[in-house]
Amino acid sequence: MKIIASLTLATVSIMAANLINTAKEVGLEPIPSSKIELYKIIDDSRNPITSKKIELGKKLYFDPRLSKSGIISCNTCHNLGEGGDDGIPAAIGHKWTANPHHLNSPTVYNAVFFEAQFWDGRAKDLEEQAQGPIQAHPEMAATKGHVEKTVNSMPTYVDAFKDAYGKDVKVTFEKITDTIGLFERTLVTPAPYDDYLNGDDNAMTTAQKDGLKTFIDKGCASCHNGISLGKGMNAFNVAAVYKYQNVGDFKGDINAMVKVPTLRNITQTAPYFHNGKIWSLKETIVEMGRVQLGTKISDAEAASIEEFFKALEGRKPVFSIPMLPASTASTPRPDMN
């Protein structure tokens, strides 16, 4: 009996190793378990991450006074208390304006692992991306001058910048958005999937492992790979036309390429697709198989892949909502026009 038990354990161990090796062979990568190794990926030598910068960036991320109306913050569309998005089909911004292209807000969690930002990939990193929504009229509708005047009007903010960057720092729009981007770099959510690929065979359930195998076998990893499970740009409507393609006018970048969204925490980021038209994860999986892979994914296969997605539910950073500096007489007043 001991010999049989030993053989069974050995067989299970070999099967686990084979699945992990297969996953890595198709381009799947875990979030490093070591903080040192993780920071080699998420840090930027141009603006190294420090605890003081993180705390300052967090305050700016949550501060609605950066917007023209004084009521919209980065967290409005990228809610860190939920899936890092807003949970609606198309983003709503200044004066209750819906995104003119009917674009869905991507999650900010794990966005640091993307090769480019925005659905059309027009920003190279989170720091550059942070400048866009603040100035976009359908979003926060602010100007660079408004943001600079707002932050510089509060001595507590000015002192925090000096503490984080040095006494000679100039608090410019770019320095403010760089600090927001730096904070966003730290929004990483390691999951049981990462623990499994990093060597913990018990981190995922049998059903989740079977789902990972289905995910690989059906070809999903051809686009959803890397640490983010979706880092790069890819063609859309490869094998068929997405059934809601006519909703909104988004067609991708100049080459019709679209950023592949992350699958991390996907169980918490409905609705799906660039225009947020599908709420069911199962329906999303089946539609992606039809549109991108030219294959029919059965209900059983979709359920298996969906089970794998549960292993991508990550451990989110724990922090309290920051207490923001008090406005002063020179702080710009809310403008709803």
DSSP 167: T
Q: Token pair 């930002």 is at which residue?
A: 117
Q: Which residues contact 200 (CB under 8 A, 6 or more apart)?
A: none
Single-letter residue type at 130: A
Distance CA(204)–CA(194), nearest Å, equals 9
Instruction: Describe the chain by its helix, strand, coil percentages, rounded to 5.
Output: 45, 5, 50
Q: Which residue has the tokens 């789902």?
A: 211
* Angstrom distances, CA of residue 258 to CA of 25, 132, 190: 24, 18, 25
Are the beta carbons of 295 and 289 closer than 8 angstroms? yes
Catalytic residue among 127, 139, 287, 307: 139
With contact defined as beta carbons under 8 Å apart, do 180 and 61 qualify? yes
Check if 139 is active-site: yes
Question: What's CA 295's distance to the chain center, in Å?
Answer: 27
| Under 8 Å between Cβ of 109 and 84 | yes
Q: What are the residues whose beta carbons fall under 8 Å from the beta carbon of 82, sequence distance 6 or more?
A: 268
Q: Cis bond leading into 271, ω under 30°?
A: yes
Which residues belong to the active site?
A: 139
